[in-house]
Amino acid sequence: MSDVLLTEKLDGHIAKLTVNRPDKMNALNGEVRCAILGALDRLASDEGVRVVILTGAGDKAFIAGADIGEFKDARPVEQYRAMQRGDIYLAVERFPKPVIAMINGYCLGGGCELSMACDMRVAATTAKIGQPEINLGLIPGGGGSQRLPRLVGEGWAMRLIMSGEMITGDKAAAIGLVEAAVPPEELESHVMELAKNIGSRSPIALQAAKETILAARRMPLDEGLKFERGWFSLLFSTDDMAEGVGAFLEKRKAEFRGS
């Protein structure tokens, strides 16, 4: 367990991860990356957890990017290896359960990239979101050049990455960078409601949903459809599917157990 990343288990099969460096706008340093990788590893095999919320401590920042202090004396090969070793973006994307980014403030650089590696994003209307690496003579290094155009299209990706401008949560919702923007005082309850909804579902079906949707990025349509058919048919072997269908026919609420 680590002070720079708080892990809470909440009712409804929910785990909440909070990056906890509020005095540094929750910037991602090596210790935070390592803690995120460790927490994801533990939560992946925790059968009590079906959905994860990722957020930042305090009321100012979600995550204001990579810790710029660590860039100063970094050499190219060390930098490359550190990025490979600490690839929190792929770890979140490949995590077998849904991850919701709760964007409560500055969501910049690696923070924006981490939110894009999550499966869903909800922002405060007042959040400030952007890819300011260009201000440092850099480009995004956590997948921004690849995930941003997939979410918002090439034009907005070019604009955000080349100008370094920050947009509000409201604007981010309008261009599809987040799925919802809500007033800051409603952010927590909105995300909790979403997480509770998802946490009440069959964890095997959730994993199938995540894997098949992500497969659409790398598979041609005919292969993706085949992959979906495989997962769909496999789910017929689960108790959860029998429970879901039985509950519908008996007009009662399904209780999914994850088997």
Applying CB under 6 A, the residues found at the interface with ligand COA are 24-25, 27, 64-69, 106, 108-109, 132-133, 135-136
Torsion of the alpha carbons at 72, 77, 81 and 86, rounded to the nearest 10: 20
Pick between residue 128 and residue 210 the one whose CB is nearest to ligand COA.
128
Report, in Å, the least distance between residue 69 CB and ligand COA. Answer: 5
Query: By the 8 A CB rule, do 54 and 91 touch?
Result: no
Cα 207 → chain centroid = 14
Decide if 165 is catalytic.
no
CB atoms near residue 97 (< 10 Å): 21
From the candidates 70, 93, 133, 154, which is the catalytic residue? 133
Decide if 133 is catalytic.
yes
From the candidates 31, 47, 93, 113, which is the catalytic residue? 113
Strand-strand pairing, 166-168 and 128-130: antiparallel
Report, in Å, the least distance between residue 49 CB and ligand COA. Answer: 29
Pick between residue 64 and residue 157 the one whose CB is nearest to ligand COA.
64
Alpha carbon distance 168, 31 (integer Å): 29
Integer angstrom CA distances of residue 199 from 12, 120, 132, 171, 204: 6, 14, 34, 29, 11
Phi, psi values for residue 163, rounded to 5°: -95, -25
Pick between residue 72 and residue 251 the one whose CB is nearest to ligand COA.
72
Alpha carbon distance 92, 193 (integer Å): 21
Pick between residue 93 and residue 133 the one whose CB is nearest to ligand COA.
133
Q: For the chain, what is the radius of gyration of the CA atoms?
A: 19
Report, in Å, the least distance between residue 174 CB and ligand COA. Answer: 22
Residue from 152, 133, 30 nearest 83 by CA: 30
Report, in Å, the least distance between residue 133 CB and ligand COA. Answer: 5
Which pair of tokens denotes residue 69?
């202090």
Pick between residue 104 and residue 238 the one whose CB is nearest to ligand COA.
104
Residue from 133, 127, 128 nearest 161 by CA: 133
Report, in Å, the least distance between residue 167 CB and ligand COA. Answer: 13
**Residue positions annotated with a catalytic role:** 113, 133
